[in-house]
Chains A and B, each alone.
Chain A
């Protein structure tokens, strides 16, 4: 078989004036604008495009389109490119995949000799002993992994997705699909027509029939004049609930691929039919092609597929291929008619090319065998909509069964007719789709809150009055009297499938898993029905009885890059962040936030807070604004302590437990007004607590009057801490008495700070010092921070970061949820068991906490190593003496600059929780050190005098 470029064809899509140069395996080639990579190579006489997976057999063109399993190539850093579909571009660096050292001489082709031993699943039956050799076997097997190479330096360029809400999406742009789009558009629907191919027209594109060409021109003209949005080189990849569609657009001018997410009111599935290869001995030899491939090569790209052909035809497409071949000068050695009992048995020749075809018992010299053996209905979109297509033996293919009423099939998927019949069915389908879309649109509008009411009543759901398409009889041609390849991507033959079925893997799903048939890149588009047929034959059953595999999304593969689009994972910083950056900050990742960790010397920052006054930016602290008369009930439900009698201006600490009694979050909540509260959460818990609150309100207590607004980033939050904090605050605050008696510990006040109205502040102290936690409207955060720094320069004011705060909170013995507690820590284990009020009516976690109250639980305790200079790492285990028995662990540890010793919090078994207990800590180095549990959490100022000052 030698393919070659012929004279100009009336239907061709190439521009012979535009020559494109490219490289194929390092050598220079050229083609024309409009060529696919494969057509350009074929026109240049290339016969072998890839090597098969298992036996490394040479493979040539089979279908010459997107689904051709033999035309997978590497283009630059892009692996597994469909050369049968991808348009040629100037300068492309195209390489073959799966061949070494070269496509023409491949060492692994020696495997062909081992075929009889490499039966399906052979790898399950060997390589078991010796066990230590398995990793070596595995490495060798893995070298057979097919496919291209990824380049780890490929960058993920961000491409935004598109969201759209058309009335009707038509998947497939053959004559029926185009008519459906035009009819729906004429009926007033907004329509998106999605063509998998580079241009619309479906099979008309490569038909040399004059009437077909006239129809194609007419349809394209009508489309141009219509309001239909046409996407070419795009595929509807998935249909999800309520016609939520994924569409991949491969020819976007900027993006490599773009994902379009469309909510269609109705979906028209018009993907046409995929020509099915035929199974016989030597059916994967280069030179065996489908009738569609022959017609595409001739009519689209002016390529003569061979010099002397045998055509096996069981349908009109095969007959048309004969005419096309003759037109470009291919000698037709024989036409074997599959409708009248003609049959082919095998091809003969080298592994690289067909020399002869055995048909009707005779050997016919030929370098090309064109096969037209029938069709596979690509029912994927219907499967995804829940339909289970039904096999019709008379037509030898599957048909839709009962898809949901907002998914309509037309074209070859729905049945057969002449061109006019297909167009009429398409148009009728478009009108029906538009009518049903109008009803959906009306319903959606009526349900949407809007100023203007919808006009009129909802249109009735249009009945399906389309005249159904017929079904042309077609012989059931799956396998000849010989065995051949069923799955070209996976090198699975019909013999393999029969063997698998006899071995007991005799349902289609088991056979698929055992042999890997249909699991390759074409995902069954070409091979599913032949696979089913082989199993049916082995079982002595019909195709209907065996059934088919479920076609899962995506219909055509799409890149991770297109799916990812732009990741909306922003890095969050507070409005004060520019100041930190200008002042030598060292930042730390804390969830989504970048936060000041320290400004050079955290120990000095601690000493300054203990001596003078410090500022820390605590903006990420979660803040929920709660309003309504039922807020106290909500607080009582979600916190373990009591909330019904919190006075205005008061602040209370609360602990939340999940329904399993495990500590979920903690923080303070203050009452700002009669029905107005502000809840604070941990920084890392801000999002989770908001969801938790909403979940309870929306699903469990929808009758409660509470309005929740997350205001975490609406306020910049600054903690002003240290013995001189009151003096500093006095210099910038207006309208509030800061005196200890007027504004005592655990109260909240609203104030104007540095001229900024609408601030509120609470007197609480995570650091253990006198402190004011100030919440400023976010836009003024930087201003207030700078005002505080200016006003306190003579007081020794200095910023401190998260590390300083962590040291001070540890000195003070405040636990951190998620660090000192974990997914098992029940409320009482924190040492705050007295907070839990089991006499309350109900609250989240109450049953579990009631059980927990009677049990001895692991406890959070403060621990001091006996050697004050040793700081055990966090997560160091507390063990029993010299054994490996785990009795607890260190959860937090630091060196305290205030106490000049190492300090820890940890969790220990109940019997170790008493003050004075000696424990053994296993360091990461393996060394065991002694440590002592102290009898309260606070290493420093246990009476809290500084805090309340």
Chain B
């Protein structure tokens, strides 16, 4: 894919084996991956949130639409939120034809990413197994497989024998509780090195002139003409943002702040039907490779994969209560361990090394909110719940198009904020809520 609009402002140092060798021989160091810039007083667009969504949006604004006078603001460091806390699973075996098309595009962009961004994001398409422990879930797997096949996505239902072949560590015996009766097998699904995606977008956007500003917290959004206090709210328009490093004027503000999305939107007088829930994860000590695929069990609320470093990475479903705490709970690790051992009793001597938690912006229909709001110039790319990472490339591409052209692209029409006013919810509850 060639750069359409974005011009390269400076010559990027290419990453390659030859360059590694050259620099190694000469003992040279690599230049900064992105610049440290002074914050300007004005930009053509400001993206709030330096995670994969914000950075991808900035990248596509520059690449596809020639908008390079863009600042990405993050209150901490790039990738400090969900982008660095997720379990890095990418797949497209969704339940609705719309979901399949959307995520299929995302998988496609992930496949291209290493070459396009010139950074190895290590997309390991090792296959993704969603286990069925009952008739009912097996029926849902068949349903997903049929929809996937019609959407051109590689996905099928396999039985215990084939599961054992793909993933020998799973206990496929006919034990009484949670027997593995079958699985939805999705060969193109896999895991990506999530941090590399953050750095890759940041680096590529930087090369085209986009500025990344870390430790830059937005404290208010400045609006005029709206029906609320201070000109905020419906009917108004955005004129700038205030930050801990000074004020910025800009006609376009894009909110990509995940767990903080509703608080940031409130700064523009826009209320979102979003609650923030913690999502916990954990990692074990490394052992030699034994788990070749990504394994998910909806009934057991667990997903697990083994990193190339040998660690098992686990996740579960969101905590059932709204909360902004990222401290994690003991009960989470206990439940997780129990569920993993139900699937793979052989790992009982592996040790949990670290647990953490991230914030998820949940919507009532488990689908995102993307595009325009009643405040002119204030766009949102939020409500990404537990499935934001796998959608980052396609979201960035579509949001950039919306911001640059002022029109909602077809692929995200269904995700408009207005759907909550007219009752046209999207439903991916079945495939998105526990199916990582």
Contacts and interface: CB of A to CB of B under 8 A. Distances in A.
A27 interface: no
Contacts of B158: none
B146 A156 contact: no
Interface stretch (A312-320, A369-377, A507-515, A574-582): A507-515
Contacts of A259: 334
Given A256-B349, A823-B427, A552 B356 contact: yes
Contacts of B15: 124-126, 128
B120 A125 contact: yes
Contacts of A734: none
A507 B77 contact: yes
Interface in B122-172: 122-125, 133-136, 139-140, 142-143, 145-147, 150-151, 168-169
22 contacts: A80-B287, A80-B351, A117-B21, A119-B30, A124-B119, A124-B120, A124-B193, A125-B19, A126-B16, A145-B288, A145-B307, A146-B310, A149-B290, A153-B346, A154-B347, A510-B78, A553-B328, A559-B349, A569-B338, A589-B176, A823-B429, A848-B423
Interface string A591-604: 11010000000000
Given A138-B122, A877-B150, A852 B423 contact: yes
A875 B143 contact: yes
B179 interface: yes
Contacts of A131: 111, 114-115
A557 B337 CA distance: 13
B330 A504 contact: no
A874 B134 contact: no
A889 B328 contact: no
Interface of A: 77-80, 116-117, 119, 122-129, 131, 134-135, 138, 141-143, 145-157, 238, 240-241, 244, 246, 256, 259, 261, 384, 386, 499, 502-505, 507, 509-510, 513-514, 516, 521, 523, 552-554, 557-565, 567, 569-571, 588-592, 594, 659-662, 684, 818-819, 822-824, 847-848, 851-852, 873-877, 879, 884, 886, 889, 922, 924
A125 B20 contact: yes
B413 interface: no
B196 interface: yes
B342 A509 contact: no
Interface string B9-31: 00000011101110111010111
B230 interface: no
Contact of A154 (B24, B147, B330, B345): B345
Contacts of A244: 330
Contact of B355 (A123, A157, A507, A553): A553
Contact of A117 (B20, B168, B307): B20
B287 A557 contact: no
B41 interface: no
Contact of B287 (A127, A135, A148, A509): A148
Contacts of A141: 308
A126 B17 contact: yes
A503 B33 contact: yes
Contacts of A886: 97, 147, 150
A129 B288 contact: no
A111 to B, nearest CB: 13
A564 B348 contact: yes
A269 B124 CA distance: 43
A589 B139 CA distance: 14
Given A146-B286, A514-B195, A823-B427, 17 more contacts: A125-B16, A125-B120, A128-B114, A147-B310, A150-B347, A152-B290, A156-B348, A504-B34, A504-B36, A552-B354, A558-B351, A560-B352, A563-B338, A564-B341, A848-B423, A873-B142, A922-B150
A261 B330 contact: yes
Contacts of A123: 120, 122
Contacts of B348: 154-157, 559-561, 564
B333 interface: yes
B245 interface: no
A259 B122 CA distance: 37
Nearest to A146: B286
A156 B179 contact: no
A135 B308 CA distance: 11
B59 interface: no
Interface in B194-216: 195-196, 199, 214
Contacts of B124: 134-135, 138
B153 to A, nearest CB: 12
Contact of A79 (B122, B140, B287, B345): B287
Contact of B351 (A126, A557, A876): A557
Contacts of B344: 152
B410 interface: no
A511 to B, nearest CB: 10
Closest A-B pairs by Cβ, 7 of them? A145-B310, A851-B423, A561-B348, A563-B337, A875-B142, A152-B346, A557-B351
A147 B288 contact: yes
Contacts of A591: 134
Given A503-B31, A503-B32, A557 B285 contact: yes
A588 B176 CA distance: 10
B167 to A, nearest CB: 11
A836 B76 CA distance: 50
B114 A134 contact: yes
Contacts of B193: 124
Interface string B411-434: 000000000001101010110000
A244 B332 CA distance: 13
Given A552-B354, A563-B334, A819-B139, A521 B285 contact: yes
B329 A240 contact: yes
B20 A119 contact: yes
A501 B349 CA distance: 37
Contacts of A924: 142, 146
Contacts of B134: 589-591
Contacts of A510: 77-79
A233 to B, nearest CB: 15
B30 to A, nearest CB: 5
Instruction: Find the residue from A259, A504, A559, A571 having the highest chain B CB count within 10 A.
Output: A504
B77 A571 contact: no
A154 B341 CA distance: 11
Contacts of A564: 334, 337-338, 340-341, 348
